[in-house]
Amino acid sequence: MNTQIFLNGITLEQLAEAVFKLQQQPVELPQPENEFITRDEVCKLLNFNKTSLWKHTKSGKLKSYGIGNRVLYKKCEVLEAVKPINH
C-alpha cells in the first residue's frame, strides 16, 4: 500500500521546524487507572503536601500499600476518594 501526503502552501523549512517541535514534546502515555503511584505522585495529583497525605491515610480516607520498603497508592482508589458525592 502506497500512501502519499501532499502539502500545499508550506515550505520545506516550515515542515522541518514543525517536525522538530513535535519531536521535542514529551509523550505522555495513558496510565491504567489501577496502577500504583508514589506518595509524591499522589501529592501532585491532589495538590497536597506529605503531611496532609499522611493525615488522610491515617484517617482511612486513603488506603496505602506497603510494597517492599515503598508506600504506594492505587490511582483508581485515590481518584475515587476525591470524587464528589452526587445527591
- Give tens-digit pLDDT for 20-60: 887 887 766 665 657 999 999 999 999 989 999 999 999 99
Residue numbers of the domain that contains 63? 36-81
**pTM score over 0.75:** no
Q: Which three cell numbers stand for residue 49?
A: 503536601
Strands (E), the chain: 36-38, 64-67, 70-74
**Structurally, how many domains does the chain consist of?**
1
Q: Residue 72's beta-bridge partner residues?
A: 38, 65
DSSP state of 67: E
Give the C-alpha separation, 60 to 40, whole Å. Answer: 18
Per the domain annotation, does 7 fall within a domain?
no
Is 77 inside a domain boundary? Answer: yes
- The burial class, CB within 10 Å (0-12 / 13-18 / 19+), for 46 is middle
